[in-house]
Chains A and B, each alone.
Chain A
Amino acid sequence: MTILQVLQLSKRFGGLQAVDEVSFSLRQGMIKAVIGPNGAGKTTLFNLIAGMLAPTGGEIRFQGRAIQGMRPFRIAGLGIARTFQNIKMFTGMTALENVMVGRHSQSKSGFLASMLHTSGCRSEERAIRVRALELLDFLGIADCADTLATNLAFGQQRAVEMARALAMEPSLLLLDEPAAGLNIYETAEIGRLIVRIRELGITVLLVEHDMSLVMDISDEIVVLSFGQKIAEDIPTVIQQDPEVIKVYLGE
């Protein structure tokens, strides 16, 4: 079953065609990677799907519903979670609180209920805390729960960001360079983690520079170059693709 469909998606910034009529789709439960040299339009593509940018052309369909141009918080509410290339922790909040914010779209206490601490609000709050702790535990950083997120090591912050995204109970998880800034051991760890996330039934779309990670875990790979899709296939085929080799290694 197709969960996400990107159809002829385009984004132009003035004279620059950052994404040029790109089409691909994701089946439920797969891990798909988008690769390409710097400036190929990977992050722009991500921001289009997550709603941070509005496309200049084309369509994005999530579970059959057109979502292009929707505000990011609405897209998040539909079940698309994301992480950021340069980690964006909520400053001044603990790791646990960061993950608790991830429960936002799964809970509903408003201003009045929160001010009055109604019994519904209190039980929801307990449920949020329990789930957030579970996720910190799932990512192996439960002992960091009460540390300010910005004081954690880089790899731990990345894990908090993952937990925060998982707290949204997404059906699609967008990972923007999850291995950026990590050493090979941490990268291998992240790779195992992504596979475990898929086992939870979550579809994963990732943008990544680290070839070994992408080749290891992806079911399919999309290759972008100068905003255009130049290849899409399973990893072993992509590795042999002369066009891809040309883009990456030069002639």
Chain B
Amino acid sequence: MGKNLVFLPIVAVVIAIQLLTAWTGTIYYLTQLTMSAYYSLLIVGLCVVMGYAGQISIGHAGFFAIGGYLSAALTTRNLIPHADFLLVRLLNSLGCLQAGQDVYGDPLLVFTPWVACIIAILTTLIVAFILGVPVLKLKGHYLAMATLGFGIIIYRIVLASAYFGEADGISGVPGFMLVPGLLVSGDKAWRVPNYYIAWSVLLLAILLLRQLIDSRVGRALRAIHGSPEAAEAMGVDIATYKLKTFMLSAVFSALAGVLLTHYNGGIGPSEASVMKSVRYVAIVAVGGMANLWGALAMGMLLNFLSLRGLFGSYDDAVFGLILITIMLFAPNGILGLQLGRIWQGLPYFLRKKPVTKGVND
């Protein structure tokens, strides 16, 4: 339990930020912080895939989109025209559907958010499994290529199909009542609770991932990273471990998609774009790959700045630049740079003739 004390200062900061925004009348910041927390949920999941299972996925926006789009479509697309189908009647009698009214006051029959969420998660699991099984048996960066292709397919599907709203995406997504009294919704009245809901989900996810890493499974994953041959000689089934990690992170991404879509009240095709996937990879790299706290810090910071519009029209370019810079100058991430060492190194750097060691000594 003592290991989890590290969460206390973070919880304190989360509460302090909320109090600060209330005090200074800048409560609107909470909206972007809430959204950043959901993006960070995806990012910590991807962090385990990249940092611990040693695989690169350029398709996590695709899983985010599967979660977001399925829950959006299922909770908004009217089933009344199909109300006579046996399946619809069955779902209705099982309590999977709810009645309502659309913006014009016409009757509506849609899936409840909980059922939509479960369908979205299960779909994600199946897709991740189908994608991962053949790919993860191979060595090298085949997963990166396969997930890139997968991301493009998902993007084109949501852009091309009327069911998913084509270029407009889906709007008018209702709130998601997690439990009575806790509504995931972008409504102003729910801003503060939603900030805490998002952070609770995110910190719970990090807690679970930390416990995973600090266990038999996590040790096996780190061992695969350290020496795949030796890990396999110890009885670690490498392909299965990589697959399960990939599926786990896909579920995190889909859950982030579900919750953020209910929070925003809609989702658009840009959420499924490959540039989003590249952004997530860049953030995990900046955070230091096998570093959940780094992924959290960078996920919050960079998403917040991006959502506040700091990068303007150069948004995607900034993340591309970050990825290149990190790969060249700080492969261990920003936190791995140990900034103190730069200060120590500065006088040497400023010397006219740097002392170089000869090859022969």
Determine whether the beta carbon of B208 is less than 8 Å from that of A81. no
Q: At the interface, yes or no: B276 with Cβ under 8 Å from chain A?
A: no
Determine whether the beta carbon of A72 is less than 8 Å from that of B233. yes
Q: At the interface, yes or no: B215 with Cβ under 8 Å from chain A?
A: yes
Q: At the interface, yes or no: A151 with Cβ under 8 Å from chain B?
A: no
Determine whether the beta carbon of A90 is less than 8 Å from that of B231. yes
Determine whether the beta carbon of B223 is less than 8 Å from that of A90. yes
Determine whether the beta carbon of A107 is less than 8 Å from that of B216. yes
Among the interface residues A72, A88, A97, A103, which one has the most CB atoms of the partner chain B within 10 A? A72
Contacts A101-B234, A101-B236 given; indicate if A111 touches B217 (C-beta within 8 A): yes
Determine whether the beta carbon of A115 is less than 8 Å from that of B211. yes
Q: At the interface, yes or no: A84 with Cβ under 8 Å from chain B?
A: yes
Contacts A97-B219, A109-B216, A110-B217 given; indicate if A73 touches B232 (C-beta within 8 A): yes
A: interface residue count bin: 35 or more
The docked-state distance in angstroms from the alpha carbon of A76 to that of B230 is: 11
**Distance of B220 from chain A, by nearest CB (Å):** 6
Q: At the interface, yes or no: B212 with Cβ under 8 Å from chain A?
A: yes
Q: At the interface, yes or no: A100 with Cβ under 8 Å from chain B?
A: yes
Of A22-30, A121-129, A239-247, the one with at least 4 CB within 8 A of chain B: A121-129
Note all chain B residues with C-beta closer than 8 A to A116.
208, 211
**Distance of A105 from chain B, by nearest CB (Å):** 3
Note all chain B residues with C-beta closer than 8 A to A90.
222-223, 225-227, 230-231
Note all chain A residues with C-beta closer than 8 A to B223.
90, 93, 101, 104
Q: At the interface, yes or no: A102 with Cβ under 8 Å from chain B?
A: yes
Interface 0/1 of A27-67, CB less than 8 Å to B: 00000000000000000000000101000000000000000
Q: At the interface, yes or no: A229 with Cβ under 8 Å from chain B?
A: no
Determine whether the beta carbon of B244 is less than 8 Å from that of A72. no
Note all chain B residues with C-beta closer than 8 A to A50.
233
**Distance of B255 from chain A, by nearest CB (Å):** 14
The docked-state distance in angstroms from the alpha carbon of A105 to that of B220 is: 11
Quick one: which of B199-222 are within 8 Å of A by CB? 208-209, 211-212, 215-220, 222
**Distance of A112 from chain B, by nearest CB (Å):** 9
- Which residue of A has the minimal Cβ distance to B227? A88
Determine whether the beta carbon of B215 is less than 8 Å from that of A125. yes
Determine whether the beta carbon of A88 is less than 8 Å from that of B215. no
Q: At the interface, yes or no: B30 with Cβ under 8 Å from chain A?
A: no
Determine whether the beta carbon of B211 is less than 8 Å from that of A117. yes
Among the interface residues B211, B217, B223, B236, which one has the most CB atoms of the partner chain A within 10 A? B223
The docked-state distance in angstroms from the alpha carbon of A110 to that of B230 is: 20
Q: At the interface, yes or no: B229 with Cβ under 8 Å from chain A?
A: yes
Determine whether the beta carbon of B232 is less than 8 Å from that of A92. no
In the assembled complex, 19 residue pairs joining A and B whose CB atoms fall closer than 8 Å, in A order, are A73-B237, A76-B235, A77-B235, A84-B233, A92-B225, A100-B219, A101-B236, A103-B216, A104-B219, A104-B220, A104-B223, A104-B235, A110-B217, A111-B244, A111-B248, A114-B211, A115-B208, A121-B216, A168-B235
Top 3 closest pairs, chain A to chain B, by CB: A105-B235, A90-B226, A114-B215
* Chain B interface residues toward A at CB < 8 A: 208-209, 211-212, 215-220, 222-223, 225-227, 229-238, 244, 248
* Chain A interface residues toward B at CB < 8 A: 50, 52, 71-73, 76-77, 81-82, 84, 88-93, 97, 100-105, 107, 109-111, 114-117, 121, 124-125, 128, 164, 168
